[in-house]
Structure 1
Amino acid sequence: MFPKPVPFARYSDSGAYHWVECDRRSSSYNPPLRARYEAVLRRVAAAKRVLDVGCGDGYLMGLLSTGCERVFGVDPEQRGVALASAQLRSFGNCHVARASCYALPFRPESFDVVLLADVIEHLEYPALCLQELRRVLVPGGMAFVTTPLGRPERKVGWNHVKEYTGPELAELLGHQFASVRVTYLWPRTWFRLYSTPIGWRGIRWLCRLLDVNPFRREGMEPKRYEQILAVCR
């Protein structure tokens, strides 16, 4: 028996919310969320086979489908899988299945790229998941991992088991990957402003009106940012 992931109920409560919150035309537009996906998208070239582990409602899969040959997604939540299947119905190169990240239903060396987008902080057994990512990657393949940047002075986020610092995440990933490069996303100054009622409304209005997004900025100084992106080989 494999351990069950921590339950994630938001899809039952909010539906395919990534598709809504990443749409600049939506009144619910979420600039940090959109910037996180764009950071991954910029780094994933026209790969032949991509796997999104913890794909949720399938939004990232939809973005990747335009440049990648085949995109697969797995999620343990039945509701998430149902939403992704519905959203991706017209995407002929996308395939979704219900599965645990601890036991991926694929043969070894099946994918050129594997994604773990804001999933690892929800896992009670991250090392087991990373073993599976390594197993299904081809030699020379790449894994991309995003997660909130952990800070000792604050509590972990809702439904999170652990939030990692950059060095902590790099050490964990280094047990499975020979090369791990950590970059930081979401400028902290902008994120703090966005966390206030006035800033939240103002930044969303500005981003929607002008198609700008201050959360696209990246850097190497963790004290200035709020999100981690790790690129692994």
Structure 2
Amino acid sequence: MGYHEWHDRPGYYKDISRHFDPKARLLDVGCGTAWLAEEFSDYVGVDTAEDVVTSAAAKGIDVRLASKDGSLPFADSSFDGVILKDVLEHLPDPVAMVREVRRVLRPGGRVFASSPDAQRWVWNDYTHLRPYTRIAMRRLWADQGMTVEKVSYECVAPGTGIVSGLTRRKQRPVPFVLAAHLPIVRRNVWILATRPGDHAAPSS
């Protein structure tokens, strides 16, 4: 199994997609298998892996090859929403990426981002460069001119996605939601933030 297959569609996928209208023009940064394309009618993914782009094209999914310098190949104010699921921890310059996300978002556009909390398990993944705390995540986006709506934890203990999928909850079951606030539980930090502006993007 390749690296991207480890991060295929999770059983709790609505915890991610519920923040956006299904008709919103959505950019999925670091899209991997591009499973979010099933949730949005106007979907574009980007990834630095050429095999990801090739695989998506074979499925008729619009995925573009992204530059490894963090720049995004889109015009200013191109999207209603941007998702960065488990992306920032891989980047040598996360500030540059956040600035790019702000640039391609329309005024009022929303971003969802998640990354591993500052826990020991983070370093089991050889591609991780840094973990995040809630304070660090908030400051990263606020310092680049984004309005932070919410910062919280999400449980990513082994089996979370399997249980969510088997129970068809599409969101993490309540025990997992509550467990995320215990510092001994394996978790991610997630954030919702908006680009300031007069025109709100469609959201659920």
Per the normalisation by structure 2, the TM-score is 0.78
How many angstroms apart in 1 are the aligned matches of 2:164 and 2:26? 30
User: In the alignment, is residue 228 of structure 1 matched against residue 201 of structure 2?
Assistant: no
Give runs of aligned pairs for residues 97-176 of structure 1, distance below 5 A: 97-100=64-67, 102-151=70-119, 156-158=123-125, 159-176=127-144
Q: After TM superposition, what 4+ stretches of structure 1 lie above 6 angstroms from structure 2?
A: none
What is the CA-CA distance between 1:124 and the residue it aligns to?
A: 0.6
How many angstroms apart in 2 are the aligned matches of 1:40 and 1:214? 9
Q: Deviations over 1:4-43 (max 9, x none)?
A: xxxxx624xxxx5555xx4xxxxxxxxxx322x3211111
Q: Give the structure with higher Rg (CA).
A: 1
Q: Which runs of 5 or more structure 2 residues have no equivalent in the other structure?
A: 195-204
User: Which residue matches 1:96?
Assistant: 63
User: Which residue matches 1:179?
Assistant: 148
Q: Deviations over 1:71-100 (max 9, x none)?
A: 1111111011122222x32xxxx4211112
Structure having greater relative contact order (Cα 8 Å, sep ≥ 6): 2
What is the CA-CA distance between 1:211 and the residue it aligns to?
A: 3.7
Q: Name the count of aligned residue pairs.
A: 185
How many angstroms apart in 1 are the aligned matches of 2:166 and 2:77? 44
User: Which residue matches 2:24?
Assistant: 48
* One-letter amino acid matched to 1:137: L
* One-letter amino acid matched to 1:54: G
Between 121-130 and 215-224, report the one with greater CA deviation: 215-224
Q: Which runs of 5 or more structure 1 residues have no equivalent in the other structure?
A: 1-8, 23-32, 195-199
What is the CA-CA distance between 1:210 and the residue it aligns to?
A: 4.6
User: Which residue matches 1:10?
Assistant: 3
SS in 2 for 1:132: helix
How many angstroms apart in 1 are the aligned matches of 2:26 and 2:122? 33
Q: Percent identity?
A: 28
SS in 2 for 1:146: strand
SS in 2 for 1:156: helix
Q: Deviations over 1:54-83 (max 9, x none)?
A: 111111222x22xx4x11111111011122
Q: Deviations over 1:203-222 (max 9, x none)?
A: 95x66655457844435836
Whose helix proportion is higher, 1 or 2? 1
* One-letter amino acid matched to 1:59: W
* One-letter amino acid matched to 1:104: L
What is the CA-CA distance between 1:174 and the residue it aligns to?
A: 1.2
Cα 1:167–1:208 change in 2 (3 A) is closer
How many angstroms apart in 2 are the aligned matches of 1:178 and 1:79? 35
Per the normalisation by structure 1, the TM-score is 0.69
Structural RMSD (CA): 2.8
Q: Deviations over 1:97-128 (max 9, x none)?
A: 11127111111001010111111111111000
Cα 1:157–1:230 change in 2 (3 A) is farther
- Any conservation in 2 of the 1:170–1:180 contact (CA below 8 Å)? no
How many angstroms apart in 1 are the aligned matches of 2:154 and 2:122? 20
How many angstroms apart in 2 are the aligned matches of 1:142 and 1:209? 30
